[in-house]
Amino acid sequence: MAEKVFSIIEVAEQDGKWGYSDINFAERRTSDPPDSVGGPVWRQVSPVAVAGSGLAAVGSVEDDRRVFYQDRGRSVVETVYEPSLPDGGWTGYRVFTTDIGAPSADVGSAVAVTGEIKGLRVYYLDDGRFDGGRRLVRLEERSGEWTYTVCADAPRGSPISPLAAVTTKQGEYVYYLDVRGHIIEASWLGAEGWPFGDLTSGIAGCPTPSPLSLLTAVGRGADSRLVYFLDENDRPVQLERTIIPGTKKDPEGSVVWRVQSLSAYGAPAAAAGSRPAVLLTAEGHPRLYYLDADRMVVEVGFNGHGWDVSHAGMDADEGAGAPAAADGSSLAAVAPADRPAAQVYYLGVADAGDGPREGDSNLIELQGSGADWTSRSLGAELDLPDVATGVPSPISAIYTTGPRVYYTSEE
């Protein structure tokens, strides 16, 4: 039996038209006729992914793109899309273990990325071949040069820990779960090193996360940070770090973490292990997306005073409902700066014409806001390559000149 090949698929919308490409393989241009079965001739242009690879992407309004994942040697790889070059396309890659000596990634480690195209930061957990591993690693790009640092003193991440990272005007912050299942915040302060704290035990009233909880985070303003996870009953929780301005009695002001259970506003419990995604509106208000117990997308958005709950998946398509998500599906969301509608992506159970088939999955786009949502099956429309099965298959999405969605394919 041939060895499975895992590659990263990009599904992109440009000028109203959708298409897809394989960022690890490209069709070989040749004057010879097609091969004997009439299919394309492929050439490998970057290292293929490993089963269960983490996945993260970032882009710019000029449509520069970077995608990060792990190769078969467990090195984190950067692939580069440069639209300004004559041919455009995926023009190069970097293997951080061989290029700069960075530690290889732990099996199944998530990958998180922050920053602008010029000045990226990438985070993952190392494999620790000699010391147990799962230490937080930070890659930094500056003026085209990459360096790495290891957060050696913070608690080790759990074997299935998620990662979330944000950058504010004050610094960089990474969130993950340690072996006790506590949420750890590690801060990068340059020469001062890596301060870290246990948010679960350090914030009054903070519930313990579900053993399967994933998490997400976003930064806003000067140094406000929002972290989202699921508690032991799979209810969505927000942690908010807020700066309180100074007053006559307290000229220096203060900083406080607040805990908010979104179920108090009617947010339903999530499917166990559901991956949340969060956006900020133009007003700086968060909108959280996750899968409920029926594996349908829910939107919980802050309106400036409280939270509005929208059963986006159930109400989509004028009440007909969007496809349910496949078991273990990831979820990603983007929102154009000039439009209020969000675009949410997940793996839905495929429909073979005679009803859904468990085990088959299909990339779904759910678009809208509030009570107005529509869905479309990008997998069926574009005949997309198969999604990797039997291993975690994260989805990453960005918005440059249009939405770009990334997943791992198995061929």
The pLDDT assigned to 299 comes to: 96
* Euclidean distance between CA atoms 220 and 20, whole angstroms: 33
Q: Which residues contact 162 (CB under 8 A, 6 or more apart)?
A: 110, 176, 177, 213, 214, 215, 275
* Euclidean distance between CA atoms 127 and 108, whole angstroms: 10
Strand ranges (DSSP E) for 211-341?
A: 216-220, 224-230, 236-244, 254-261, 277-280, 286-291, 297-302, 307-310, 331-334
The pLDDT assigned to 206 comes to: 96
Percent of the chain at pLDDT > 70 equals 89
Two structure tokens written together for 354: 């005679």
Task: Identify the band that residue 176 occupies on the pLDDT scale cut at 50, 70 and 90.
Answer: very high
pLDDT in tens, 374-407: 999 999 999 999 888 767 778 999 999 999 999 9
Are 186 and 194 within 8 A, CB to CB?
Answer: yes
pLDDT in tens, 94-140: 999 999 999 999 988 999 999 988 899 999 999 976 577 899 999 99
Total residues found in the chain within this entry: 411
Sign of CA pseudo-dihedral 29, 32, 35, 39: positive
The pLDDT assigned to 87 comes to: 65
**Helix (H) / strand (E) containing 404:** strand 403-410
pLDDT in tens, 216-225: 999 987 788 9
Q: What is the dihedral of CA 322, 326, 331, 334, to 10 degrees?
A: -30
Among candidate residues 83, 135, 141, the one with its CA nearest the CA of residue 105? 135
- Tokens 């602008």 locate to 116
Among candidate residues 55, 222, 25, the one with its CA nearest the CA of residue 124? 55
Across 130-167, b (16+ Cβ under 10 Å) vs e yields eeebbbbbbbbbeeeebebeebeebbbbbeebbbbbbb
Taking residues 61-70, what's their average pLDDT? 95
Tell me phi and psi for residue 76, to 5 degrees. -75, 135
Taking residues 5-9, what's their average pLDDT? 93
Check pLDDT > 90 for residue 90: no
pLDDT in tens, 344-366: 999 987 554 444 444 356 899 99
3-state secondary structure of 265: helix
